[in-house]
């Protein structure tokens, strides 16, 4: 075997190992987010679980896939998926949180500060 083929084999092994670590870590974070969605008691904590660990888990899975696939088209597609997820998840969580706050869904005792003015009685 030539030294170049040994180096390529060693690099492939390191990249595949890193891909396995990223895929496993991402899958565990996504699993934790799913369990938290079922187990957390209120809307705001569920919303937190639906955005932060889930997005990080997805990014780790995408990184693991990118390390495994290693082609330009695949990596570009994975980068676009990650960018759109990073752009849409916080906005969606913000809108859900605002709608819930307007409807007075969160328990006021759980809030540190409530900057929404009290509702005026329409009658």
**What pLDDT does residue 73 have?**
96
**Cα 120–chain centre separation:** 38
Question: Is the whole-model pTM more than 0.85?
Answer: no
Which pair of tokens denotes residue 8? 């390529």
Q: What is the mean pLDDT of residues 42-48?
A: 87
Q: What is the mean pLDDT of residues 11-40?
A: 95
Q: Residue 86 pLDDT more than 80? A: yes
Q: How far apart are CA 1 and CA 76, in angstroms?
A: 33
122: confidence class by pLDDT, cuts 50, 70, 90: low
Q: How far apart are CA 60 and CA 66, in angstroms?
A: 10
Q: What percent of the chain has pLDDT over 70?
A: 92
Which pair of tokens denotes residue 29? 């974070």
The more confident residue out of 116 and 57 is 57
């Amino acid at each position: 075997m030539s030294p170049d083929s040994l180096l390529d084999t060693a690099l492939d092994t390191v990249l595949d190992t890193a891909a396995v670590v990223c895929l496993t870590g991402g899958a565990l974070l996504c699993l934790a987010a799913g369990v938290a969605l079922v187990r957390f008691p209120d809307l705001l904590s569920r919303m937190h679980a639906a955005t932060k660990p889930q997005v990080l888990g997805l990014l780790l899975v995408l990184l693991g896939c990118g390390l495994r696939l290693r082609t330009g088209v695949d990596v570009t597609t994975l980068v676009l998926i990650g960018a759109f997820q990073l752009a849409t998840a916080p906005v969606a969580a913000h809108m859900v949180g605002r709608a819930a706050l307007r409807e007075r869904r969160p328990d006021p005792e759980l809030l540190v500060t409530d900057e929404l003015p009290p509702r005026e009685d329409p009658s």
